[in-house]
Structure 1
């Protein structure tokens, strides 16, 4: 799989820069394209050094944002919620009660911290386990991509 910047979609570039920033500046590890139990797919789910879970929804443009009606469904699955957009995005239309990240394919910056809404312990444990299993399955796939599983 080629993950060079010239082969990524605009949303994937935003996710890449966001994940790099969260790792370097905040010691978070990230899983992109994380599917929740509800079958909603999160662009970036990040796990912090103290077990905190952040969700980042990447929007490549105004049309992408306007087409999204599911973002509030992510709020029950994170301690903080963020939008990641590029520097040309009209950020004034994003809900003020959410976090804001400006990103490109190489880095990002948190402009507004999303408010904290701590997850219940049982949900945190289930999400952390799901994150770990997803990351480990993907890592195994890189090593042994032709393995069919079970």
Structure 2
């Protein structure tokens, strides 16, 4: 993981929110592991995961990015994410008090530029029907986001 505290060249693509910066580093790392990633994905009504990653073998990982103690302690929904993935991870920066995180979840240390998996989350395979639904949602969501990027005037919303 890159330990950059001062970037000599301003990066206009760098997100302003701390959680989004962590998500960027996580997504870069997961791409290097051959995962496709989507940020801010809604698996079910009332849930929004920070990162959903689809692996080369069809595995689905959820990564929740926490910028600090208060952010983690105020998260009451994370248990609901477990039903929508094969593995669950927290992504935090190097200053986060990791002893707060449940030991039976994955842990990723991240910054704006990269990340490192410190602890694998336990594998809890999705039932085949739910996996099919999630992979289809992933594909549809990714395609709609790409179309909205390429043709903003198309009026695509909700992605």
TM-score (norm 2): 0.89
1:35 and 1:11 map into 2 onto residues whose CA distance is 17
Shift of 1:149: 4.6
Taking the TM superposition and a 5 Å limit, the aligned residue runs for 1:111-150 are 111-149=118-156
Distance 1:141 1:82, change over 3 A: same
1:48 matched to which residue of 2?
Answer: 55
Give runs of ≥4 in structure 1 deviating > 4 Å: none
2:155 and 2:110 map into 1 onto residues whose CA distance is 36
Count of matched residue positions in the alignment of Structure 1 and Structure 2: 147
Structure 1, unaligned runs of 5 or more: none
Shift of 1:34: 0.1
Shift of 1:3: 6.3
2:156 and 2:116 map into 1 onto residues whose CA distance is 38
Shift of 1:101: 0.1
2:106 and 2:145 map into 1 onto residues whose CA distance is 28
Shift of 1:148: 1.9
How much is the aligned-residue C-alpha RMSD, in angstroms?
1.5
2:115 and 2:49 map into 1 onto residues whose CA distance is 18
